A and B are shown apart, each in its own frame.
Chain A
């Protein structure tokens, strides 16, 4: 049984349907990337899985539990957290306060969880009292992922974690994502940076016009000529 399974997802904004029946799944400990052209519905899929958008049809299961239509603040209780593409930090709060907000639903001491996040992102440890609004894009992305890891989720959804980052920071963020995966968290991410993300992924999906186009291991997709031509820049 997959850890996360979305089948036959139809969804969109208002009357406009963006996804016309998409299937994805994620096994425990896997890193899976969704690529595809702009407007393919990649971000829409993540938002629907996380309950930010209502699915017109289809089922989302997390560890066997049907979570279709469950609002986000309930889904986090079942072990899935989400990092939006933009506006994914609280700028006027400090690094540590951002992380604390990620664990809002918990009672009791957060110190062990904070230390775990700081060990994944050592750069943040030295700046825990600094306001996030004054930090660089790469550091903000670490804060955003750190916030989502505070609940020790089984599944992490990442929406274009390297969008709008300088090339040297892209590498750094991918390294962090691999470190998160190595700590046992299954990751489903949407990426524009297709070649790079597929090369570190276990599997990948190609989404076109709201439908599954193809699906395979990261290496298979990277070596596929048609996909190379269409999405990986030749």
Chain B
């Protein structure tokens, strides 16, 4: 099959991986815009979320057995998803208390180094608890559905659907709730937020909770899509996450959605022309071109 005939199929794969990248990138963008540093531990929050999700999945499989064919999982996934999101939010809040809160007024570069340290600690905690061998969300070989000549697995439709719902929910939260508006206000002007009487520490906690919950979701969806997870999962995703955030415009959650989808598509479509092993290079290439051509990003201001 020639490269061009492959394109629609690859575009579908791009949307699937773009959905996962988007969920990670949106959280990274939120923490960037409100806490004002590049959180290098965000990828590893995806990892902790993915492992929590799998742990809860095993726990609930006894209570809620069965499988929703043609999906590779059954009802046990739903409570596992919810609890992993809550658990990961809690983990991020604890990390904030222990590390980042002490550095609230520190220079961004210090926070960045602290985040790299947190990333190592989180990854090694996962390694310590779960060993380095991959763990499986599912070992079942799934037959793809054929829709209009394009092959897509039911799990992949689920990934896209859940990502869409999560992004929509986040949009409604930011647009219409008091806390969501305060988050946008604080991203705009933290000093004025404080002067207005906004409880900025509470906004920070919400930011961590939302970012980590979305990271858990991204990690679990990645486990479902790839069948397996490893302790390196999030660290390996970090480059596409940053590429997506910078592409969309640093600090703009809507830009991160756009950037995530673009990076996912670019990575998958590139495999029609170059070897799959260059996928990370494609994300990096898009990032470099963007920084040269439009450093403020697609939706960034200034």
Contact = CB atoms under 8 A, between A and B. Distances in A.
B199 A73 contact: yes
B107 to A, nearest CB: 17
B185 A93 contact: yes
Nearest to B198: A104
B188 A92 contact: yes
A2 B195 CA distance: 23
Interface stretch (B53-61, B144-152, B176-184, B278-286): B176-184
A96 B185 CA distance: 12
A114 interface: no
Given A90-B185, A100-B178, A101-B181, A84 B199 contact: no
B189 interface: yes
Interface in A84-107: 84, 87-93, 97-98, 100-102, 104-105
B195 A72 contact: yes
B181 A105 contact: no
B196 interface: yes
Contacts of A77: 197
A91 B189 CA distance: 9
A52 interface: yes
A181 to B, nearest CB: 21
B205 interface: no
B289 interface: no
Interface in B144-199: 178, 181-182, 184-185, 187-189, 191-199
B181 A100 contact: yes
Task: Give the residue among B178, B181, B184 with the most A Cβ atoms within 10 A.
Answer: B181
Contacts of A101: 181-182, 185, 193, 196, 198
Contact of A147 (B178, B181, B196): B196
A89 B191 CA distance: 10
B184 A102 contact: no
A125 B129 CA distance: 58
Contacts of A118: none
Interface residues of B, number: 19
Contacts of B187: 92
Contact of B197 (A90, A133, A151): A151
Interface in A20-58: 50, 52
B185 A84 contact: no
Contacts of B182: 101, 104
A76 interface: yes
A205 interface: no
Contacts of A88: 192
A82 interface: yes
B105 to A, nearest CB: 14
A72 B184 contact: no
Nearest to A75: B197
Interface in A108-158: 133, 147, 151
B196 A84 contact: no
Contacts of A90: 184-185, 188-189, 192-193
Task: Give the residue among A50, A76, A87, A90 with the most B Cβ atoms within 10 A.
Answer: A90
B197 A105 contact: yes
Interface of B: 178, 181-182, 184-185, 187-189, 191-200, 301
Given A97-B184, A97-B185, 19 more contacts: A73-B194, A73-B195, A73-B199, A76-B195, A82-B195, A84-B195, A90-B184, A90-B185, A90-B192, A91-B188, A92-B187, A100-B181, A101-B182, A101-B198, A104-B178, A104-B182, A105-B197, A147-B196, A151-B197
26 contacts: A72-B194, A72-B195, A72-B197, A73-B195, A76-B195, A87-B189, A89-B189, A90-B184, A90-B193, A91-B188, A92-B184, A92-B187, A92-B188, A93-B184, A93-B188, A101-B182, A101-B193, A101-B196, A104-B178, A104-B182, A104-B196, A104-B197, A104-B198, A104-B199, A105-B197, A151-B197
